[in-house]
Amino acid sequence: MAPPPLPPRTERVPRLSTVILPVLRWHEGGRERWQRAEELGFDTAYTYDHLSWRANFRDGPWFGALPTLTAAAVATSRLRLGTLVTSPNFRHPVTLAKELMSLDDISGGRVTLGIGAGGNGFDATALGQEPWTPRERADRFAEFVPLLDRLLREPVVSYEGTFYSADEVRGIPGCVQRPRLPFAVAATGPRGMLLAGRYGQSWVTTGDPRIAATGTPAEGLQAVRDQIVRLGTACDQTGRDASDLEKVLLTGFVPGSPLESVDAFVDFAGKYAEAGITEIVLHWPIAGSQFAADETVFERIATEGIAQLRGTAPQQ
């Protein structure tokens, strides 16, 4: 069965979305931030699905992704919501499927699951296990995604795998979005890209991590172009038309400064759109972190940047 489509695109201008890290108490600015994302017109607001993340956030406030998205679903009405990304590091497909089905229901069908193989961060050892090797992460991911797909589509699922099992698990009534909520699969390697081709409605990249700190903007752009070519090859192998797959760039890890000004964003977004990116995700600014930026400029980008790309910005 083919993966369910996202809403059709009518233009080449990329969607603009944001990531809101779960660092604010809900009643001390958290709710207002998600509501402001909707007011500014972002297509989707995502959050990270980690137990903790990076040294400069690990010892500060950090809330759970799915409860945060549930609260955001109640506080908003149009904004799509999602994770960037959930991973097998501390998730099991059976319990995750039930929580996602519930979130999809509460949101009225506004949820996208960003999902990836995970890494060697703090989540990798939080449950007391040794960190998995890259191969084991890939092996687990290759089993995790198909099982999660079944659990969100089928009313009853039994499965016995190498890493995961399900015994007559009920998925009733299923997702509001049919046949299930969309997957945005983060992948840069061949096995992950095959999973994106088979199960994803979107493919997610953060660029090439080898040049994130030292590469030039031109090198970062070329790296993403090369990844899109490889994604096309993977889609060919799965019998999928690569043009049907949304291509999402999570910024903040590619060379360049799209939040420096509206003009800088328009230049950045235009080049990545030409390369094939169909959705650009910006981190909501957080002072004192790697995502520090001028929030006024950020909001102007949300309200003016895409309009400039469309050629509909008001004349000064």
pLDDT at 8: 46
Neighbours of 149 (CB within 10 A): 21
**Under 8 Å CB-to-CB from 239, ≥6 apart: which residues?**
none
pLDDT at 9: 46
% of the chain beyond a pLDDT of 90:
89
**Under 8 Å CB-to-CB from 205, ≥6 apart: which residues?**
186, 187, 188, 224, 227, 247, 248, 249, 250
Mean pLDDT of the chain: 94
Reported confidence tier of residue 220, pLDDT bands at 50, 70, 90:
very high
pLDDT at 121: 86
Would the pLDDT of 20 be above 50? yes
The token pair that represents 142 in the structure block? 């290759």
Q: What is the tens place of the pLDDT at every residue in 147-192?
A: 999 999 999 999 999 999 999 999 999 999 999 999 999 999 999 9
- Which of these, 125, 29, 20, lies nearest to 82 by C-alpha position? 20
Q: How far apart (Å, rounded) are the C-alpha atoms in residues 292 and 57?
A: 13
pLDDT at 306: 87
Q: What is the tens place of the pLDDT at every residue in 94-141?
A: 999 999 999 999 999 999 999 999 998 889 999 998 999 999 999 999
Query: Could you tell me the fold of the domain covering 15-312?
Result: TIM Barrel (3.20.20)
- The CA-based angle 15-17-18, given to 5 degrees, is 165
Would the pLDDT of 5 be above 60? no
Would the pLDDT of 312 be above 80? no
Reported confidence tier of residue 310, pLDDT bands at 50, 70, 90:
confident
pTM for the whole structure:
0.94
Q: What is the tens place of the pLDDT at every residue in 55-108?
A: 889 999 999 999 999 999 999 999 999 999 999 999 999 999 999 999 999 999
